[in-house]
Structure 1
Amino acid sequence: MTTFGIIGAGHIGSQVARAALAHGHEVVISNSRGPETLSDLVAELGSGARAATAAEAGAAGDVVVVTVPLKALEEIPVEPLAGKIVLDTNNYYFERDGHIEALDKGETTTSQMLQDHLPSSKVAKAFNHIRSDEITTDGTPAGTENRRALATASDFDDAAAFVTSFYDEIGFDTVNVGPLSESWRVERDRPAYVVRQNAAELTENLAKGNRLP
């Protein structure tokens, strides 16, 4: 059993929580408005979940999921996440986040920005290119023909291995993109973004991507 500390209780965070709980894990979930605002969600999630502050969720998690708007990245607590695998679900929406020159120029990636903010953590890309509702509806058992695949990327082999294992547990194959510097291939507006694809199709779509939209 793994305890997932989830920072961000929106569409993706709540669905990752549901997927984790459905497979016997525990969840400590937070948002920017305080744990008291999560009572309805926690009641729906059930006994394996509890609400907390972001720092408490980060400290409690064996693995931490960061799923907040990119513009809130600097608010992610650093010390509670030290030494931990951190799953980054983020995408860059300049309409929401404001323009970030290094991203506009293709000089970094959203996951690399989180890794820079969390230098003692092991960041891995996860769940950023699937619609949130499909996290709990599209999974199928290992070996299923045409099984859906999702991508990950990390500078740490154990972080990528954890994502691969968790994806498989909840019903998805994995394609490892490589280091965080390559994670742009699965970001917004690329061929691999929010389309249903098996592992071969995902691999092909990742190769088609251009660094700049």
Structure 2
Amino acid sequence: MKIGILGAGHIGKALARLLAEAGHEVGISNSRGPDSVVEGTQTLRDLAHEIGRGVKAFSNEDAARFGELVIETIPFGKYMDMPAVQMEGKIVIDTANYYPERDGQIDLGGLSESAFIARHLPKARVVKAFNTISAAHLETLGDVGKPVGERRAIFIAGDDAEAKAVVTRLIEEIGFAAVDTGSLEDSRVQQPGTPIYGPDLTATQARAALQK
């Protein structure tokens, strides 16, 4: 599958490497383009080369156009930077969390964070995932050799069952287990400050935690 990743921060880099190692074609981007500096003197193009396995460096628009599936890892407060037109009809994984102290005050209109993003991307098939795990845990805790129930849980939510099934397969391919919390509105249970935000839980433990 061709996967475009918007954002070259810690989560974006970790997912780029893991998904490329799983055999997917991956393009990673930022708002400034392939030759922009992302760290020190390293450019986005250098970063893609360092990750290896054919990972490409793109602008956000080109990454969204490239991907059959798009993962957005940009800060929540920069949601307007997402190329909505290029994401139409595609599965979009929303990894962002809203932190008012970082993102400023945003009126969510009573919506969950991901339902708010879905309203901004009305023709995309939004699935919330990867927002409750650190980049360090993404890099180190995946284990395809474990039974799914014993793997580190990745919580997901969405309104499109087929899209969630695709995301579930991707999560399992990189050694984790998807645990479904329900609809985009139900994704409130996996937002910052909730009991399941952050803890290192296996899939079995995560499902038990959701029942409490």
Runs of 4+ in 1 over 2 A off after TM superposition: 99-103, 203-208
Q: Tell me the percent identity.
A: 40
- Give unpaired runs (5+ residues) of structure 1: 209-213
The secondary structure found in structure 2 opposite 1:191 is coil
Q: Is the aligned partner of 1:94 residue 2:97?
A: no
**What TM-score, normalized to structure 1?**
0.90
Q: Return the offset for 1:8.
A: 0.6
Residue of structure 2 equivalent to 1:204: 208
Q: CA deviation at 1:101?
A: 3.9
TM-score by length of 2: 0.91
Question: C-alpha displacement at 1:9, in angstroms?
Answer: 0.7
After superposition, residues 77-92 of structure 1 pair within 5 angstroms as 77-92=83-98
Per-residue deviation, residues 27-69 of structure 1 (Å, max 9, x unmatched): 1111122211202211101142111111100000010001111
- Which residue number corresponds to residue 128 of structure 1? 131
SS in 1 for 2:14: helix
How large is the RMSD of aligned CA atoms in angstroms?
A: 1.5
Distance in 2 separating the partners of 1:32 and 1:120: 21
Superposition map of 1:12-51 within 5 A: 12-37=11-36, 38-51=44-57
Letter in 1 for 2:141: D
Task: Give 1:207 deviation, angstroms.
Answer: 4.5
SS of corresponding position for 2:35: helix
Report what 1:58 is aligned to.
64
CA displacement at 1:84 relative to structure 2: 0.4
Pairing of 1:162-177 with structure 2 (within 5 A): 162-177=166-181
Unaligned runs of 5+ in 2: 37-43
Partner of residue 140 from structure 1, selected from 137, 143, 165: 143
Q: 1:143 to 1:47 in 2, by over 3 A?
A: closer
Q: Whole-Å Cα distance in 1 between the matches of residues 32 and 24 of structure 2?
A: 25
Q: Paired residues, what number?
A: 204
Residue 157 (structure 2) aligns with: 153
Q: Distance in 1 between the 2:149 and 2:79 partners?
A: 38
- Cα pair 2:178 2:203 within 8 Å, conserved: yes
SS of the residue 1:153 aligns to:
strand
Higher strand share: 2
